[in-house]
Amino acid sequence: MKLLFLKISVIFFLFASQINASEDLSTKTSIFDNENQKHLLQIEIQRFILENPEIIIQAIELYKQKKFQETIEAEMQVLKTQKDEILNDGYSFVGGNETGDISIIEFVDYKCGYCKKSHEIIWSIVKNNHDVRYIIKEFPILGSQSLMAAQALLSVLLKHPNEVYKNFSDTLINHKGSITKDILKSFAQKAGAEVSDLESEMNSQEINDLIAKNASLAESLQIRGTPTFIIGNQIIRGFISKSDLQELIEIARKQL
């Protein structure tokens, strides 16, 4: 890209030197004083670009790299300023090593096919990495069934041990059919939860406020899909393989 600017600079220099070599430069403030000179310069630059179209591609690539870097820097700043809300909100499920040095945060929708595909991978990673804590952010974005699932899971989590929530979560994430209130009650009960007041708790202001908090956090991080993971100072949008996930954990470990 430096070569691009060098070439254009040479064009300006040569053109300026050819405009009027005998002109008194001490009285000249700009090579653009003459409209004809401006026109000639525009023609010369257009000719150069047409003869060297690769500079347009180079310029576009440089712009993309700049915007990508700006996005990464903005994300890192948000991750830093909202670190406590991401890692210690006081209501999200925390599994694995609850005091682990490395955190995997996942924004989950229980109707999301790729969330279902990721579930077994995540728990395998947690099992084999004893310094990892796994945090689930309920993020229902795929309709009313997703919302009911998130409401039920948070209702169970607030009143029961993590193990009950995990059993409920495991059953629901593997469920392939529609999600109804009766199914949620059945799954929650099998997981060990008290369900007599589950429906009223699901629709409480407290539960809806917690879901709204997750949505607000996601918006600040420009998270609009599931699954989305946060590992260290990186946001990974979409499904990630077990090997790539392990690699990111290794990178985060080295940064401690």
Q: Which domains are delineated in the chain? A: 2-20+29-81 (no CATH), 84-254 (3.40.30.10)
131-162 as b/e, with b when 16 or more CB fall inside 10 Å? Answer: ebbbbbbbbbbbeebbbbbbbbbbbbbeebee
Residue-level pLDDT at 252:
93
Q: SS3 of 33, please?
A: coil
Q: Give the residue from 196, 198, 114 showing the smallest Cα distance to 153.
A: 198
pLDDT band at 23 (very low <50, low <70, confident <90, very high): very low
pLDDT at 20 over 50: no
Report which of residues 16 and 120 the model is more confident about: 120
String of DSSP letters for 57-101: HHHHHHHHHHHHHHHHHHHHHHHHHTHHHHH--SSSEEEE-TT-S
Establish whether the linkage from the previous residue to 161 is cis, with ω within 30° of 0. no
Q: pLDDT, tens digit, for every residue of 68-106?
A: 665 666 677 778 888 999 999 999 999 999 999 999 999
The angle subtended at Cα 184 by Cα 180 and Cα 190, nearest 5°, is 145
Phi/psi for 255 (5° steps) reads -85, -5
Six token digits for residue 177: 């059919």
DSSP 27: G
Phi/psi for 94 (5° steps) reads -125, 120
Q: What percent of the chain has pLDDT over 70?
A: 84
